[in-house]
Amino acid sequence: MESISSRNIEEYIEYSQNDRIAGTGYQSFLKCLAKTIEKELPVELRDNSNGEIIKVNIKEFVVDYQTEQEGNMDNLTLEFVVVGEENQQTLAFVNTGKFKVKEDAKSGPRSFYRYEVDADNDKGYRFTFNRRITKD
């Protein structure tokens, strides 16, 4: 397995331009994660298992992938802090990627960017990113 981290932007850019994930909701989702970290904006995170919604500040993410299988069965680990708290928490998705990350129909630059990760699974999550992540 290979790994990329949001801390090494060159590796991340190279990975996000890979033909295997280009044009997918997964690619857009990873870009939103990186831009959110860069601009230090909170993300709304909804746990599908219980409907709980929390605001978090994502500190880092790591993608573990197999060469020549990028975006098929990636492992994604997020490090975040709940807004108003100090303890860093971890959220991990195993075997995720372009088939398990879907862009919400309401997502767009005029409102917000929203993605479902493992939406078909009651243990999935919905991420809502502030539209200002794309503004300079």
For the segment 67-104, what is each residue's pLDDT rounded down to a tens digit?
A: 899 999 999 999 999 999 999 999 999 999 999 999 98
The closest alpha carbon to 78, from 58, 95, 98, belongs to 58
Digit-coded pLDDT (tens) for 108-125: 777 899 999 987 777 789
- The number of domains in the chain is 1
The string of DSSP letters for the chain reads -EEEETT-HHHHHHHHT-TTTTTSHHHHHHHHHHHHHHHT--EEEEETTT--EEEEEEEEEEEEE-TT-TTTSEEEEEEEEETT---EEEEEEEEESTTTEEE-TT-BTTTEEEEEESTTSTT-EEEEEEGGGG--
**pTM score, two decimals?**
0.89
**Does pLDDT of 19 surpass 70?**
yes
pLDDT in tens, 27-77: 999 988 888 888 899 999 999 989 999 999 999 999 999 989 999 999 999
pLDDT of residue 47: 92
What the block records as the tokens of 42 is 């909170």
Domain that includes residue 104, residue range: 2-134
CA dist., res. 21 & res. 11, Å (int): 15
Amino acid 119: pLDDT: 78
Which of the residue ranges 7-21, 47-61, 121-135 has the most confident prediction, judged by mean pLDDT? 47-61
